[in-house]
């Protein structure tokens, strides 16, 4: 298999994502024990055109983002039991759930899925950005999120990274509007 037909060819991992059983305890662990924060909370996300294993779903979730240096840490809280990667067989808790790669062109990720036999577990749109979660064949806890870079406004990730670089330990969980 050619090197260009594998996920690592899309770029480096920029995020580690977890679905904790106790979201608040996870925020406390990451901020107090690991020194990562502040986490920025986005609540009740429902991706446009979301499909789980090819079928439409109305799954909703909240997430909190922070940076540990250049590495983004994401904590996810499912908000309903609709079929998604956060419920059922992909709904692993309290360990690594997925990694994320940021790309300019999502079509390359779809091509890699076709060429390697990776299953598209979830796909949808968040604002102007498209996203897919691929199961490269290793199942729950090993998903690869491929997120198209947002170009339609301020760089949210850069703003969060900057807040984390200068964090004084106050307000460990901040709501994003």
Nearest by Cα to 67 from 164, 172, 149, 145: 164
- Rounded CA-CA distance 61/42 in Å is 9
Confidence band of 100 (pLDDT split at 50, 70, 90): very high
> In this model, does residue 90 exceed pLDDT 50?
yes
- Tokens representing 20 are 């904790």
Strands 96-103 and 143-148, bridge-based pairing: parallel
Quick one: CA torsion of 95, 21, 171, 44, rounded to 10 degrees?
Answer: 100
> pLDDT tens for residues 22-34?
999 999 999 999 9
Quick one: CA torsion of 47, 103, 12, 61, rounded to 10 degrees?
Answer: -10
Confidence band of 15 (pLDDT split at 50, 70, 90): very high
> pLDDT tens for residues 137-169?
987 789 999 999 987 767 899 999 999 999 999
Domain map (residue ranges) of the chain = 3-170
pLDDT at residue 3 in the model:
56
CATH level 2 (architecture), domain 3-170: Roll (3.10)
- Rounded CA-CA distance 103/147 in Å is 6
Q: Is 59 or 2 the better-scoring residue by pLDDT?
A: 59
> In this model, does residue 1 exceed pLDDT 50?
no
- Tokens representing 88 are 């059922």
The CA–CA distances, whole Å, from 159 to 13, 38, 103, 137 equal: 19, 12, 19, 34
């Amino acid at each position: 298999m050619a090197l260009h037909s594998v996920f690592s060819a899309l770029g480096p991992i920029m995020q580690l994502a977890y679905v904790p059983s106790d979201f608040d305890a996870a925020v406390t662990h990451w901020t107090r024990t690991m020194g990562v924060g502040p986490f920025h909370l986005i609540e009740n996300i429902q991706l446009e055109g979301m499909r789980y294993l090819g079928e439409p779903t109305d799954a909703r979730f909240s997430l909190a983002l922070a940076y540990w240096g250049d590495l983004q840490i994401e904590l996810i809280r499912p908000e309903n039991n609709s079929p998604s990667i956060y419920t059922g067989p992909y709904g692993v808790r309290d360990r690594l759930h997925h990694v994320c790669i940021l790309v300019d062109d999502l079509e390359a990720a779809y091509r890699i899925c076709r060429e390697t036999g990776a299953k598209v577990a979830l796909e949808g749109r968040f604002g102007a950005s498209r996203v897919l979660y691929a199961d490269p064949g290793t199942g729950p806890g090993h998903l690869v999120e491929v997120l198209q870079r947002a170009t339609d406004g301020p760089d949210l990730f850069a703003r969060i990274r900057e807040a984390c670089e200068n964090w004084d330990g106050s307000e460990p969980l901040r709501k994003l509007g």
